[in-house]
Structure 1
Amino acid sequence: MIQEGKAFSGFSVSDLQKAKEFYSKILGLNVENDEKMPDLLNLHINEKNTILIYPKPNHEPATFTILNFPVKNIAETVNELKSRGVKFIVYNEENFKTDEKGIMWGDGHGPNIAWFNDPAGNILSVIESDE
């Protein structure tokens, strides 16, 4: 049954061309038009992980993180992405705060993480990891 197939994830965007430019040129990821369905994009995270990006005319961004990118050094990654034009989300809620760069430092209570939006408003993150 379903355990026999290769599962994959996907998410919608309001503008496929803007998404392709953002994920390929700004984030530096491998993005290709789907061979069988040219109105869809395949976001290749590595050789084994492909995520489907599809257009949706009435797209509404998710209110949660849809994609997390593990990184070795969050401060360096945030600085690099900022230099490419990525704007990080600064949270200043009572129990949910980031610094002025948009980094939430886990300080032993969780991972170091920073959130940003793609052009469609979807929430993405970079999360510090040793893996």
Structure 2
Amino acid sequence: MSLSDSAVAVMLPTADASRAQEFYEGRLGLPHDGTNDAGETLFRLAGGSQLVLRTLPDAHPSPNTAMSFAVGDIAAEIAELEARGVVFEDYDQPGFTTVDHVFDDGSVKAAWFLDPDGNILCLHQTG
């Protein structure tokens, strides 16, 4: 089996597992798969992949996008997530400006939001 055929586990830090679970399950709608023997909170992702939240008292988010969800209709996904209380980031920098939360360079559209621990998450739509 090659790595290109393997499911992926995305591991993110959290300082508060119950707050993170409310966000990922309640606001993003990810199916909660319980906890593992290490006490990490698990969520099911497409293709057999998994989100693993590791509780760390001194959790520090990455300054870069930690996870991006490929979507078919970014505007519809933004509207649905906003209705559930997700707040999207907006940017206005030279060469990098969002309109209605979306950056569009002609080949990809993307929108970013933060989880309760400051991890940067993204929606992206190609084509």
TM class, shorter-chain normalised? 0.7 to 0.9
CA 1:10–1:89 in 2, change beyond 3 Å: closer, same or farther? same
1:28 is the counterpart of 2:29: yes
* CA distance in 2: counterparts of 1:87 and 1:12, whole angstroms: 20
How far has the Cα of 1:6 moved from its partner? 6.8
CA offset digits 1:51-98 (Å, max 9, x no partner)? 211011111121111010111000111111111111100011112110
Q: Which residue matches 1:56? A: 56
Work out the percentage of aligned pairs sharing the same amino acid: 28
SS at match of 1:28: coil
Which amino acid counterpart does residue 112 of structure 1 have in structure 2? K
Gap regions ≥5 residues in structure 1: none
Normalised by the size of structure 2, how large is the TM-score?
0.87
Q: Which residue matches 1:79? A: 79
Gap regions ≥5 residues in structure 2: none
Q: Which residue matches 2:45? A: 45
CA 1:126–1:102 in 2, change beyond 3 Å: closer, same or farther? same
How far has the Cα of 1:9 moved from its partner? 2.9
CA offset digits 1:77-122 (Å, max 9, x no partner)? 11111111111000111121101x311122x2x3100000001110
Aligned residues: 124
Query: RMSD between aligned alpha carbons?
Result: 2.0
* CA distance in 1: counterparts of 2:44 and 2:23, whole angstroms: 14
Q: Which residue matches 1:114? A: 111
Normalised by the size of structure 1, how large is the TM-score?
0.85
